[in-house]
Amino acid sequence: MKQSPPPFTTGPTAWTRSKPPLLRFLKACHAEFTSEIGGAVADYIPELGKADPAHFGISLATLDGHVYEVGDTQVPFTIQSMSKPFVFALALDTLGAARVESVIGVEPSGDPFNSIRLNAENHPFNPMVNAGAISCSGLIHEAKGDAAFEYIRQALGRFAGRELDVDDAVYASESATGDRNRAIGYLLRTNAVIKENVAAVLEVYFRQCAILVTARDIAVMAATLANRGINPVTGEQVMTPYAISRTLSVMTSSGMYDYAGEWIYRVGIPAKSGVGGGILAALPARLGLGSYSPKLDKHGNSVRGIKVCQALSSHYDLHMLNRSDDARNSIIADYDIGNSPSRRVRRAHEQNILAAHHQDVRVIELVGTLSFSNVDYVSRQLAARPRPQLVIFDLRRVTAMTRAGARLLAEEFRELAAHHVTVILSGIRRSSPDWKAIAEWTEGLTNIRNYYLLDAAIEWAEDQLVYRYGGAIDFFEATELSEQSLLAGLTEEELTDLASLASIQTYQTGEKIISAGDAATSLFFLRSGAVHVTLPDGVRLATLTAGMPFGEMALLEPHRSADVLADMAATAYEISLRDFERFRQQHPRAGERIMRNLAQLLADRLILANAKLDLLTSG
């Protein structure tokens, strides 16, 4: 990485030429493999032979729903054997795993896809060979009767995110030339794998193989497999995670027929091909790939499609068994409230209690994906140090939770409950999927609290300590001006003069006292109750109790920069700026003292803000 200075040039037009590197890579693959003209278009039925051998499309769908497309990604072709994994998943969710797994095996056969051989129990070896796939269609037919095919077409449409059509010409010629599959069908019925009308089941199977898809469809369907059954474009949960992971399992062990071992070894991405020229590859938690190029190798796999899969895997080292991660990345901050109290400005006796007991509240801010490894690490961090009374888990930056992570977290709450530790969750709403995932395992726990704002969670925890250590708060006891921090150091006489200028205001709970943007014409000294200061965007800056000033920035700024609302019934001394100006003329020393107190107050807030910044950025 050299260090010579860069030029500042180029107009905005250049921007349009900028592309994500992944798109550039896919374009490069397309350009390079277009020259691969080996292989032959499938012609065991005339209709397939009509495919244009020049067609070549590559599409990649990410799990946040972006779809890259290069070349002929909109050309429709028949899905053929790529329908097998989806119909197997559909069978698992429709008839239940027990039923399906009782008649279809999951071991590789070592035979070609159209082998008629069954396993030792006279069942199909797995759902990826024709015998297994026809059995799946039979199971769907068993459950749905004449509606079976439409049921399958709708399901595949949900994987693709759009309605899928059928190529009737291909279907007709598949049916006309499908005797080997008929033989398999009847063999399956003699072994009671199919109980139904074999002819009807085979029509379902032939039709499902003739469903029309594009490379883009295949990419989205694959991404849905890679995303635990959630279509990343439509957001729909198409199948259960169980059906999806088991489908990927049989794709891994048998998806590429007698080439399966080589495929895991060299490419390491679960995949399925179809004689129509399509290949789908699904890398869990990463991407879905769809390619279309009709020329096939001797295994019946698209020549260019295989090249694309191999290039993607090797260029980016994407082998599914070559993963790394770091558990420690999930804790972004771990501290007690000594360094980071709530924004509630506390009075002296409360401050003393919190100063003595701040270690009793531990705050752990988590980020990213909460996985098995991440939550286990967090639980060991908790076990390693003396037990606090309350633990706040801030989940605001948690963007995903695996089932393992959710379950381990719930088990940690149970562990803490057993030691009478209160758990407070912030940054998560009870309506969220993550909350539901945790709640599945927290039945009966009574030690869990929930405040969406971390500051509110810390404030509640502080109150628990204040109550516990005897510092009951009487919000309604009124205070004198002499108790005001901003007026500290003023003489009796100065205070009396100032008091004569003050009027006592009364506010109801929720009443807005100051509005951001208004002219700042007076300052306030809170006499009783509590108010909070909030930015227009809703960020809560502070909660104030009796003895604290508010609107004091009027001494520096002509306009209000924040809203102030009453948290409860409250009273305040209000002094107009005009009167205060006059007071400062008469008492210049007091004026300077007040300015000094104001600077002190701002300095204290700045120290807190910087301490909090250091916590967050020392990560």
Q: In angstroms, give the least distance from the CB of 170 to a copy of itself.
A: 31
What backbone torsions phi and psi does residue 295 show, to the nearest 5 degrees? -75, 130
Q: Which of 253, 250, 155, 168 is nearest to 207 (CA)?
A: 168
Q: Is 257 annotated as a binding residue?
A: yes
Nearest approach, Cβ of residue 175 and a copy of itself (Å): 31
Neighbour order of strands in the sheet with 57-62 = 67-71, 57-62, 287-292, 278-283, 271-273
Give the tokens for residue 31: 């350009």
Residues 67, 83, 84, 573: which is the catalytic one? 84
Min dist. Cβ of residue 397 to a copy of itself (A) = 4
**Residue 174, annotated ligand binder?**
yes
Q: Which two tokens stand for residue 393?
A: 């888990």
Q: What are phi and psi of 344, to 5 degrees?
A: -70, 120
What's the CA gap between 484 and 490, in Å, rounded? 10
Rg, the chain, Cα only: 34
Neighbours of 331 (CB within 10 A): 16
Cβ proximity to a copy of itself: between 63 and 166 the closer is 63
Q: Which one, 178 or 427, has the nearer CB to a copy of itself?
A: 427
User: Is residue 295 within 8 Å of 304, Cβ to Cβ?
Assistant: yes
How many CB atoms lie under 10 A from the CB of residue 389?
A: 16
DSSP labels, 508-565: -TT-EEE-TTSB--EEEEEEESEEEEE-TTS-EEEEEETT-EESGGGGT-SB--SEEE
Q: How far is the CB of 88 from a copy of itself (least distance, A)?
A: 11
275 annotated as belonging to a binding site for a ligand:
yes
Active site residue 81: yes
Closest separation in Å from C-beta 545 to a copy of itself:
20
- Sign (positive/negative) of CA torsion 516, 520, 521, 527? positive
Packing angle, helices 372-384 and 403-418, rounded to 10: 20
Q: Is the dihedral of CA 131, 132, 137, 142 positive or negative?
A: positive
List, in order, residues 6 or more apart from 249 with CB less than 8 Å away.
106
Tokens of 324: 């790394």
- We find the least distance from the C-beta atom of residue 155 to a copy of itself, in angstroms, to be 20
Q: Is 259 a catalytic residue?
A: no
Q: Which is nearer to a copy of itself, 40 or 285 (CB)?
A: 285
CA 180 from centroid of its chain's CA atoms? 47
Minimum CB–partner distance for residue 494 and a copy of itself (Å): 14
Catalytic residue among 59, 67, 70, 81: 81
Q: Is 242 a catalytic residue?
A: no
Give least dist CB 344 to a copy of itself, A.
Answer: 16
* Cβ–Cβ under 8 Å, residues 524 and 577: no
Q: Taking a C-beta distance cutoff of 8 angstroms, is the pair 86, 229 a contact?
A: no
Closest by alpha carbon to 30, among 215, 195, 202, 181? 215
DSSP assignment of 250-264, as one string? HHHHHTTGGGHHHHH
Q: Shortest CA distance to 512 belongs to which of 540, 493, 542, 534?
A: 534
CB of 558 to a copy of itself, least distance (A): 12
As a whole number of angstroms, the distance between CA 153 and CA 166 comes to: 9
Closer by beta carbon to a copy of itself, 54 or else 607: 607
Is 330 marked as a binding-site residue? no
- Which has the closest alpha carbon to 104: 137, 76, 77, 72? 137
Which SS3 state, helix, strand or coil, does residue 576 take? strand
Structure tokens at 93: 């969710």
Of residues 10 and 190, the one with the C-beta less far from a copy of itself: 10
**Closer by beta carbon to a copy of itself, 222 or else 598:** 598
Nearer to a copy of itself, 311 or 569 (CB): 311
Do residues 456 and 424 lie in contact, with contact meaning Cβ atoms separated by under 8 Å?
Answer: no
Q: Which two tokens stand for residue 19?
A: 């592309």
Residue 464's identity, in one-letter code, is: Q
Q: How far is the CB of 36 from a copy of itself (least distance, A)?
A: 23
The residues assigned a catalytic role are: 81, 84, 205, 257, 275
Mark the binding-site residues for substrate, compressed into ranges. Answer: 81, 130, 174, 181, 205, 257, 275
Mark the binding-site residues, compressed into ranges. Answer: 81, 130, 174, 181, 205, 257, 275
